[in-house]
Structure 1
Amino acid sequence: MSCQHVRNHGSHGHHHHHHHDTAYLVSKNKRDPGVRITRIGLLANLCMAVGKGVGGYVFHSQALVADAYHALTDLVSDFMTLATVTWSLKPPSSKFPTGYGKVETLGALGVSSLLLCGGFLMGLNAAEVLLVQFFPDIADMAAHLGLLGHGHSHGHSHSHDVAHGPNINAAWLAAGSIVIKEWLYRATMKIAIERKSSVLASNAVHHRVDSLTSIVALLTIGGAHVFTDASWLDPVGGLLISLMVIRAGWGNTKTSLLELADVGVEQEMIDSVRKSAMKALATTPNGSEVEIRDIQGVKSGPNYLMDIEMAVPETWSVGHTRHIEELVRGRVGSRVRGIKRLKMRFTPNTEREITFAEEFIAADISPRSSPEPEMEDNVAEAATGTKLEVDGVRKRG
């Protein structure tokens, strides 16, 4: 599961739904190297978001402002994770029988919505700057029609800034961000290898992927100064970073929405549960008589709610199946990270075509098409009683 998370970082460019940090962010053991490096990373995100935001505004760099927003969403994601982790790990209650995990999913949806909106607005702003520079007549016309968000006069001031390009000092901020993120990557990965921690390894990859946007910012800011009449490179960098942010935002929004819609868990999790369950069965004398037929589950924030269907001899007693249930639950719960609930269903091994689908009530036997007999009787009795009461009133009248 965690390895899958690491691969996601590499393939999708960025992932903001990183509840994997929480084990270290909420730990009270400040001397632990994993806790220390994770909190240093959080502090670095805070400093970089503020530094690049102020620097981008002062030095007129679209790319740096976009990168600052990127760092800010990381920070918001970390704090939102901290705010929801306590809720998401609470035990189930009568009001929330499957637990509170979806609270974290809602938090992730909030962060990804920020990413989508912010990325779109940044891209729009960068596109507007490019329009003002390369197509001033169209920009003037759009400004008079009120299509440009900043107005006609402000559009000219933007054009003036773009013509001069970003201040070269903006490049130092971008370069500093790359250095810090690369150092965080190496320091975190070193501890991850020592601990054999896929959680920290995933966090390390997160730092390295973050530096990609800073590299884009550095190249575009530097290019605007190295090449003649290349001041347009900076807003192009801002546009590229905004597209990266939008892509990440869409990916995370899709993941959160699917989770809220109770999409099935990934195959890797099913395989892990199957492997642990089979090892548990191998430790008991009658385990060879048990057949694992199906495994399914849903994800609820950091929690996995899994179901296993097992076929057993029909002569087995309830006590016997109960022993198997406890054995399997204990083993899977201790070996597979994230399992919050493990539900087991036992069916006789003489019946072959049994699946979880049979748990759903078919449409042709729903209460609307054939009400329960006692319900019909109650309705008939109520109707008869009402009629007698009305007749009695009429007679007395």
Structure 2
Amino acid sequence: MATQTREHGGHGHHHHHGNAYLTSTNTHDAGVRITRLGLVANLAMAIGKFIGGYVFHSQALIADAYHALTDLVSDFLTLGTVAWSLKPPSERFPNGYGKIESIGALGVSGLLLCGGVFMGLNSGQVLLDQFFPEAAEAISHLELGHGHSHSHGAGALGPSIHAAWLAAGSIIVKEWLYRATMKVALERKSSVLASNAIHHRVDSLTSIVALFTIGGSYIFQDASWLDPVGGLLISLMVIKAGWGNTRTSLLELADTTVDDEIKTAVQKAAAKALGTIDDGGKVKIRDVQGMKSGQNYLMDVELAVPGVWSIQRSREIEERVRATIGSSLRGVKRVKVRFIPLGQENLDFSEEFIAPDVIRKVNPEPEDGVEEEAHAHHEHEHEHEHKDHNATRKRR
């Protein structure tokens, strides 16, 4: 689900942030401001929902509190990883620090995934307590669940209606936080901010489930099972969102290619650059590829030029193409330009990888017949040594 929101093409201008992004006192920075606001809101909601869940005996509200807690941790990870990802490349990190943000997004979504699993176990334990108490008792002895002691006694009577007010307040706050955070994420093309925004949306949806199940349990007094069922539904929603973001982060870390939308935008910007130089019509844009590194796009452009052109001429074209792409597309931090002669249309980026036959010449492996012969020779020598050793022992 996150794939659609994490990578969008668009036009804009670069603006560079200082390395002290995390500790920045610049309240005009939208990324820091919305994340810190979400952090404070999540802290207040996590505490409020935990207390409310226990006081008002609501399993759904407790499940919602677990989710608010994972969002709280995600806000800290967001601040830290965004700060690192915007640092310029170094000798140790020649491609920049963008992958640190991808790792942060993986950590955030992993927390969400684990939180969902634990919430599901907890709600399942409560349902077992109500319908199959003997099985629940057996499982509790195996310590498979956690935090289920509250589900006995008063919890089985159903939640208090006061728990609904906490859920309703959470819906309003979280929906606003989702819209505000996603707006900044799309402007910055930040995967970790988008991941954080989706957490706010999921928290809003889970609070809606909590509100309905708490209300249903209150209206239908004999339906106290509705509340733990709501907790189970919330955990499934959280697991789904967590897996979607985890998959997207893993693909980004595995250096999968960028969206076609980004490739097309880079190609258009390169064509625009070629249109501003003399003899630009003789240059063909052969291919565009790239990968995403946090908020940063690292792009490769292949241009076919007349073979008689000098290196100096090619260098001028390279600089113009890089400058135009950089000023037209937000998030493109590196542009590598590769030149091939016109007429050699069979060349592509794959030739940059060393061919398997070349690798075999560098690190040759013996052919089957030679290998078997060498093995037999080794066995013969070993047998001969063994006989010599036995003969020596007999003489002694």
TM-score by length of 1: 0.78
Secondary structure (helix, strand or coil) at the match of 1:340 reads strand
Residue of structure 2 equivalent to 1:112: 109
In the other structure, the counterpart of 1:99 is 96
**1:94 positional shift:** 2.1
1:239 aligned partner: 232
Contact 1:101 1:301 in 2 (8 A): yes
In the TM superposition, residue 36 of structure 1 has moved relative to its aligned partner by 5.5
Name the CA shift for 1:42/1:301 in 2 (closer, same or farther; >3 Å). same
Deviation at 1:137, TM superposition (A): 3.2
Cα 1:121–1:93 change in 2 (3 A) is same
Write the deviation string for residues 109-128 of structure 1: whole angstroms up to 9, x where unpaired: 22222112211111011011
Residue identity matched to 1:58: V
* Consecutive unaligned residues in structure 2, runs of 5 or more: 9-18, 366-396
State the shift of 1:107 in Å.
1.8
Deviations 1:129-158 (Å, cap 9, x if unpaired)?
Answer: 1111112233344445x265369xx76x62
Question: What is the count of residue pairs matched by the alignment?
Answer: 348
Is 77-86 or 124-133 further displaced after alignment? 77-86
> In structure 2, what is the equivalent of residue 264 of structure 1?
257
Mapped contact 2:21–2:83 kept (Cα < 8 A):
no
Indicate the residue corresponding to 2:272 in structure 1: 279
Q: Tell whether the 8 Å contact from 1:166 to 1:224 is kept in structure 2 after alignment.
A: yes
1:19-168 correspondence runs (5 A):
28-30=25-27, 39-143=36-140, 146=142, 148-149=144-145, 158-168=151-161
User: Which amino acid in 1 is paired with 2:61?
Assistant: L
Corresponding position: 1:172 with 2:165: yes
Which residue, out of 327, 341, 344, partners 1:351? 344
Match of 1:362 among 346, 349, 355: 355
Q: Counterparts of 2:31 and 2:86 in 1: how far apart (Å)?
A: 21
1:216-235 alignment runs, 5 A limit: 216-235=209-228
**Other-structure match for 1:307:** 300
Amino acid at match of 1:308: V
Change (3 A) 1:150 1:206: closer
Q: After alignment, is 266-275 or 39-48 more displaced? A: 39-48
**Mapped partners of 2:122, 2:58: distance in 1:** 12
Aligned residue type for 1:355:
D
- Whole-Å separation in 2 of the counterparts to 1:118 and 1:207: 15
- SS of 1:60's partner is coil
Secondary structure of 1:30's aligned partner: coil
In the TM superposition, what whole-angstrom CA distance separates every residue of 1:336-389 from its partner, at most 9, and x where no partner exists? 11111110100011101111001100111111029xxxxxxxxxxxxxxxxxxx
RMSD: 3.3
Query: What TM-score do the two structures reach when normalised by structure 2?
Result: 0.78
Shift, 1:85, TM fit: 2.1
- In the TM superposition, 1:312-351 aligns within 5 A as 312-351=305-344
Sequence identity, in percent? 63
Query: How has the CA–CA distance of structure 1 residues 357 and 248 changed in structure 2, closer, same or farther, with 3 Å as cutoff?
Result: same
Task: Provide the rounded CA distance (Å) in 2 between the counterparts of 1:341 and 1:34.
Answer: 22
CA distance in structure 1 between the partners assigned to 2:7 and 2:357 by the alignment: 45
Secondary structure at 2:333 match in 1 = strand
Kept in 1, the 8 Å contact 2:64–2:203? The answer is: no
Distance 2:168 2:349 in 1: 55
Are residues 206 and 110 of structure 1, via their aligned partners in 2, closer, same or farther at CA, if it must alter by over 3 Å? closer
Alpha-carbon distance, 1:24 to partner: 9.7
| Equivalent residues in 2 for 1:10-21, closer than 5 Å | none
The 1:252–1:128 alpha-carbon spacing in structure 2 relative to 1, beyond 3 Å, is: same
Amino acid at match of 1:46: L
Counterpart amino acid of residue 73 in structure 1: T
Question: Does the CA contact (< 8 Å) of 2:53 and 2:62 recur in 1?
Answer: yes
Q: Which runs of 5+ in 1 are unaligned?
A: 9-21, 371-397
- Greater mean alpha carbon deviation, residues 34-43 or residues 115-124: 34-43
Asked if the contact 1:162/1:232 (under 8 Å) is kept, the reply is no
Distance change in 2, residues 1:76/1:364 (3 Å): same
Amino acid at match of 2:268: K
